[in-house]
Structures are given as C-alpha cells and as structure tokens.
C-alpha cells in the first residue's frame, strides 16, 4: 500500500512515476512492458500466487489491480485448509497452479488452461510435486522455463523475480553479425520460432550457434501433452480440485 500512497499528489492524483521491472505493488511484481493501450502501457506482472498477468500501468500504481484476481473471493482461505502442508506457501502455489490450469473460474485460467497449459499427471498430487521440486527457496516462485509448455519437472524451476524478469521476451538480448536485438526480434527476422531459439539458448548455445539448424534433444518438449492426454489430465484435475 505504502508504495503507491507515496506517489500520490496532494490533490489525490498520481504522479507518473515510471514503472520498472522488479518493482512490487501489492501482490504484483512488475516484469516487463508489453504494449501501449491508449496513452497507457500494459505491463506483464507476476502475481504472488505464481500466475503471470497483464495489467495497465495506471492500475498497478493506483492499486486498482492488486493481484491477478486470486485475492478476490475465497481462493486463499480455501487453499489454506486442505492439506497437512496447508497454510504453507508451497502448497498455496501448487493449488494455484492447478486452479489456473484447470479451473475455468480462476482469473488466470484464460492465460493458462485456456491456452492449453497443463500440469503433468505426476504433479496432480501435492506430495509428488513437493518431492520433485522440494521446498520453495525464500523469494522464489515457480517458473516455467519454456512458456508454451506446461508444468512438469523438466520445464519448471524455482526462480527469483529477477530471474523471471530477465527471462521475459523483451529482455533477452542476442548479438549476431555485430547487431544486438531481442530474441523475439531475431525470431521474427530469421523465421526460426522463438521457442526454438529460446530453448537453444537455455542449453548454453552461443549467440551465433543459435541460428544454425542443429536439432534439439527431445526432452525439451517435456510437459507438452497430446489431445488425449490432455483430456485425461483434465478429468483427473477436476477430481483433485473438487
Ligand atoms: Zn494471483
């Protein structure tokens, strides 16, 4: 709360203090600027529950939008009462991961389940999720390494907010033939899919190497499910969430 009160003018309006990646407003951490809407910018934000969400800068600063939507209603209190680990932040993150992938009423569903992002079957139980990922290190949240793939051991890590901000499209800079551009720009220029360039980069390929045709090892696709798998996953998840 204090962050935005400090930005308030005496007449009650807000000073146009520029938002910056890493800043925290209520439950939202600012990741990167996405696009202009009217005379305002839309920002990508990371909610404390682990969901990424898009918010107008003015709404972040004013506190009109405090979270991805998860802090409205009873989402938290319900999540806190279910398990032996209930009340722990790790369980809360797991619950939210399941909800945004499988609960159409979840505010973040449109960006996750609605876009085909799933949780691997093994992680439908909190116990196995916890066994795979371990306790969340302080200041870290659950991050999918490849944005278009789902939640699975291969595709997830505990990351700090700075890691996540760095990992967003706008901030990955690659130099090729003496020119420095974002990875997304290079993808557009070369016609090589962004996901492939990004996966290669993660594997430690050099800047020039990124653009050559070598194939990626298969395992990078972990977490992506076929249509039949997906249906089975949904059926399972709805039981878990019931
Ligand atoms: Zn949230």
Q: How confident is the model at residue 151 (pLDDT cuts 50, 70, 90)?
A: very high
pTM above 0.75, yes or no: no
Judge contact between 129 and 94, C-beta under 8 A.
yes
Residue 144 C-alpha to ligand 1 middle, in angstroms?
16
Judge contact between 52 and 31, C-beta under 8 A.
yes
Residue 229 C-alpha to ligand 1 middle, in angstroms?
27
Residue extents of the structural domains in the chain: 2-62, 75-155+222-241, 173-221
Residue 171 C-alpha to ligand 1 middle, in angstroms?
23
Residue 74 C-alpha to ligand 1 middle, in angstroms?
12
Judge contact between 51 and 108, C-beta under 8 A.
yes
Residue 63 C-alpha to ligand 1 middle, in angstroms?
14
- What does the alpha-carbon distance between residue 219 and residue 114 come to, in Å, rounded to a whole number? 24
**DSSP assignment of the chain:** -HHHHTTB-TTS-B--PPP-TT-EETTEEEEEEEEEETTEEEEEEEETTS-EEEEEHHHHHHTS--SSSTTSTTHHHHHTTSSTTTTSHHHHHHHHHHHHHH-TTSTTGGGTGGGT--B-GGGGSHHHHHHHH-SPPTTEEEEESSTTS-BSTTTEEEEEHHHHHHHSGGG-EEEETTEEEEHHHHHHHH---HHHHHHHHHTT--TTGGGS-PPPPGGGGTT---HHHHHHHHHHHHHHH-
Residue 50 C-alpha to ligand 1 middle, in angstroms?
6
Per the prediction, the chain carries an average pLDDT of: 78
Q: What percent of the chain has pLDDT over 70?
A: 73
Judge contact between 25 and 43, C-beta under 8 A.
no
Residue 131 C-alpha to ligand 1 middle, in angstroms?
24
Segment 211-237 mean pLDDT: 58
Whether the per-residue pLDDT at 221 is higher than 60: the answer is: no
pLDDT tens column, 74-96? 444 444 444 455 557 788 889 99
């Amino acid at each position: 709360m204090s962050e935005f009160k400090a930005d308030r003018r005496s007449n009650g309006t807000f000073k146009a203090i520029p938002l910056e990646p890493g800043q925290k407003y209520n439950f939202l951490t600012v990741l990167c600027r996405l696009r202009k809407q009217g005379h305002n910018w839309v920002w990508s934000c990371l909610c404390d529950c682990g969901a990424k969400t898009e918010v107008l800068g003015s709404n972040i600063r004013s506190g009109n939008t405090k979270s991805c939507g998860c802090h409205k209603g009873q989402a938290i209190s319900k999540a806190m009462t279910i398990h032996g680990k209930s009340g722990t932040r790790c369980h809360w993150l797991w619950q939210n991961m399941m909800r945004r992938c499988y609960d159409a009423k979840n505010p973040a569903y449109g960006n996750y389940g609605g876009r085909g992002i799933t949780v691997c079957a093994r992680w439908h139980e909190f116990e196995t999720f916890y066994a795979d990922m371990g306790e969340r290190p302080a200041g870290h949240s659950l991050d999918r390494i490849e944005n278009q793939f789902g939640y699975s051991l291969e595709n997830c890590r505990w990351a700090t907010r700075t890691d996540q901000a760095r990992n967003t499209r706008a901030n990955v800079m690659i130099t090729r033939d003496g020119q420095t551009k974002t990875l997304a720009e290079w993808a557009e220029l070369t016609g090589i899919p962004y996901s492939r360039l990004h996966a290669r980069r993660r594997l430690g390929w050099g800047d020039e190497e990124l653009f050559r045709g070598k194939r990626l090892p298969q395992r990078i696709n972990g977490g992506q499910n076929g249509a039949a798998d997906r249906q089975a996953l949904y059926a399972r998840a709805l039981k878990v969430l019931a």
